[in-house]
Amino acid sequence: MTGSVLVLSRRVCAAVPSPALISLALTHVSRSIIRHLANGRARAPGILTPCRTVASTPKAGARSEESSQSGQQEQEPRRTGAAVRVAASILAAWLALNAGLEVGGLDEWLAGLRTGKPLNEVRFVPYIVTSREQVSPTAFILTVKPKFALDRPDTSPSGRLLSVLFPRLQFPHTSHNNRAILEKAWDHGLWSVEIKQPQIQVARDYTPLPAPSREAEQHDLHFGHLRFLIRRMDGGEVSTYLSRLQVGDTVELRGPHLGFDVRARLGSSDKVVFLAGGTGIAPALQTARAVLDTETNPHNNNRKPSVSILWANRHRADCPGIPSPQGTQPVDISSSSNAITSLLEQMKARYGDSLHYTSTVDDENARVTPPDILRAAGSSSPPAGTRTLWSIPFFSSSPSLPTTVPDRTSSNTTTCKYHSVSTLISSPGRDEPTPQNHCACAGAFPGKNLLMVSGPEGFISAFSGPKRWGEGLELQGPVGGMAASLREADPAFWEKWLVLKL
């Protein structure tokens, strides 16, 4: 019995197990055990049957030989019985372990021993830097993976044998234990994680970049990869620390922290205009993925929503090849080596005409203007009386702002947590996961178009008014800046829009 199992183990370890091999191996082990059990029971009665006595008196030598043979015959059933008991114990243990893996949580516990603690919102967990790609003189993409994640499935002999004996077992070949957490975050839409500067114990939120394709998404989920667009800022403790990290270094993450549920807030409406300043392009790309990956809305003339990104940068090196809102800058994006512009091009190929993007550059004296926003929003009304903010330095910390305009939206959304402007003012910018379109608005298919703003503090203030602090949290605050001026100029049009500050 033991010899046959060892031979089987050596054969199994010589090749990567497949479902067919697993089934064959388990069948072979079971049949071997049953055969040994059956043989043991069959031989035992015959062995224990008393031998016939011989009438003649045996000689002394014959008596000695018969005594030896009798002793051997008595020991054989004992050995057989012991082998049967060992085989039965092995079979019982194998069945018990597989049952424990199925219902007892043992598999998860074993996986945790190897892969460490999963990503969570309470404690920081270690990640390893796997690549660092410079995309401009001051910005770079940092790719990380869980510290204990496998780069490839476990193909060691012990791992293959465990996979054969315990087909339900996951821990020998599970790359990491964050997949369910990451899937939940990506399904929600907008999310971020904190990255810690360990020397001074300070953390900052960073938004993971989406993958360019479904295949790349599955690859990232399998290996737990996360990518962040980071700009090194003068005096920025966390960004400076991250800029010094090299491949193989350890970095600590905490999260994910879920943001706005953009699909629930959009509802049956179909337009998202995103004003992104600098690295604010990361949440813009998350938003595009969240909105455009959904199925076509049958209640909206079978049209998918559209996402228009207006990306403002300081230097052309940050966005090479991206056309301006006026259609200038004819450089082909595909000729650029900038990873963000390449990602935009790949997402454009993925979503087609549902995704639009343009860029402005401070060095070229170009700014996002009210007409640019109106064109992206689909308004034909001229921005009469709207102040032009071309002269405002969007990336400064204290720009001159237009006066905040009171909300004049209809009263049927005053109690809806998704679409009430008054409720949004005191929101910290996070929505708990809930069924889509679960809101208190009147109408069969409620929703609002979204004007979203993300970037440095001065950029957000200039376009949508500053955030405010309350109860230890950074809250949305009332709408101000250019968005308030646009709403004052055409309240009927902007009544159908929500302004979200990220």
CA dihedral 428, 433, 435, 438 (to 10 degrees): -10
Buried b (16+ CB within 10 A) or exposed e, 196-223: bbeeeeebbebbbbbbbeeeebeebbeb
Q: Which stretches of 413-490 are DSSP H helices?
A: 421-425, 457-464, 481-489
Cβ 258 vs Cβ 432: under 8 Å:
yes
Residue 68 known to bind ligand: no
Q: Hey, what are 94's tokens?
A: 């194998």
Contact 294, 270 (CB under 8 A): no
User: Following DSSP, what letter does each residue of 197-232 receive, concatenated?
Assistant: ETTTTEEEEEPBPPPSSHHHHHHHHHHT-EEEEEE-
Q: Tell me how far apart the alpha carbons of residues 162 and 464 are, in angstroms, rounded to a whole number.
A: 58
How many Cα atoms sit within 13 Å of 178 on the Cβ side? 32
Omega before residue 153 within 30° of 0, cis: no
Q: Collapse the DSSP code of 345 into the 3-class scheme (helix H, G, I; strand E, B; otherwise coil) and give the result.
A: helix
* 247 annotated to bind ligand: no
- Three-state SS for 276? strand
Compute the distance between CA of residue 120 and CA of residue 122 in angstroms, rounded to an integer. 6
In angstroms, the CA 176 to CA 115 distance is 6
Say whether 204 counts as a known binding-site residue.
yes
- Structure tokens that stand for 9 in this block: 């183990």
DSSP 244: T
Following DSSP, what letter does each residue of 284-329 receive, concatenated? Answer: HHHHHHHHHTSPPBTTTTTB--EEEEEEEESSGGGSTTPPPTTS--
User: Rounded to the nearest 10 degrees, how much is the dihedral formed by the CA atoms of 470, 475, 478, 479?
Assistant: 160
CB 136 within 8 A of CB 313: no
Residue 391 annotated as binding site: no
Is 103 known as a binding-site position?
A: no
Alpha-carbon distance of 402 to 197, in angstroms, equals 37
Paired residues of 310 in beta bridges: 275, 358
Write out the two tokens for 339: 């990873």
Binding residue numbers: 204, 206, 229, 238-239
| Known binding-site residue numbers for FAD | 204, 206, 229, 238-239
